[in-house]
């Protein structure tokens, strides 16, 4: 019997975050995926280097791949150093992959990485979101709500 998954992921050290994703997309559901890395990639991530700002994930041949994520070469690496922008395989259960594939194919959704982090056991993980793109008017509404929350907090703070 499978162990129940925690509602929030156990993030011990966040390496890279895609803050723009929450502004550009309606986040429907999030998944925690392992990531297949080489040794020098892990070392680069442990030093806090890496970017997922322009990256996305896609389902190809029954596997999920993280595309366009930038993990710079390790400074003390030798000839076995890695390519910075190579596609990286994400490790998910078959059911999760089938579910993601169905949502992307049928509903026109997108797989967006939200963050790369190390969990409590020291494993590199990717927080992957199943998301739908926002229109321009949705983005304006998000900005209005954010400004109103800021103003409301300021008013409440001033009144005591």
How do the domains of the chain map onto residue ranges? 11-134
Amino acid 60: pLDDT: 92
Q: Which of 10, 21, 72, 68 is nearest to 42 (CA)?
A: 72
Q: Residue 89 in contact with residue 36, Cβ under 8 Å?
A: yes
CATH class in words for 11-134: mainly beta
Given a cut of 70, is residue 5 above it in pLDDT? Answer: no
Q: 140: exposed, middle or buried (C-beta count within 10 Å: 0-12, 13-18, 19+)?
A: exposed
Q: What is the pTM of this model?
A: 0.80
45 Ramachandran zone, left/alpha/beta (phi>0; psi -120 to 50): alpha
Given a cut of 70, is residue 36 above it in pLDDT? Answer: yes
128: Cβ contacts below 8 Å, ≥ 6 apart: 30, 31, 32, 33, 57, 64, 90, 111, 112, 113, 114
Amino acid 10: pLDDT: 78
Amino acid 94: pLDDT: 94
Amino acid 88: pLDDT: 93
5: Cβ contacts below 8 Å, ≥ 6 apart: 32
Given a cut of 90, is residue 9 above it in pLDDT? Answer: no
Percent residues over pLDDT 70 in the chain: 96
Instruction: State the average pLDDT for the chain.
Output: 88
């Amino acid at each position: 019997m499978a162990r129940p998954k925690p509602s929030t992921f156990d993030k011990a050290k966040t390496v890279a975050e895609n803050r723009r994703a929450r502004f550009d997309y309606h986040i429907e559901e999030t998944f925690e995926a392992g990531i297949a890395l080489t040794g020098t990639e892990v070392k680069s991530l442990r030093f806090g280097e890496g970017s997922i700002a322009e990256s996305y994930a896609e389902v190809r041949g029954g596997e999920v791949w993280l595309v366009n994520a930038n993990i710079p070469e390790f400074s003390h690496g030798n000839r076995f150093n890695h390519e910075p922008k190579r596609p990286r395989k994400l490790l998910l259960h078959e059911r999760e992959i089938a579910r993601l594939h169905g949502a992307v194919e049928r509903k026109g959704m997108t797989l967006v990485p939200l963050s790369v982090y190390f969990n409590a056991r020291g494993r590199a993980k990717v927080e992957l979101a199943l998301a739908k793109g926002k229109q321009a008017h949705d983005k304006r509404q998000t900005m209005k709500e954010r400004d109103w929350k800021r103003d409301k907090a300021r008013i409440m703070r001033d009144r005591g």
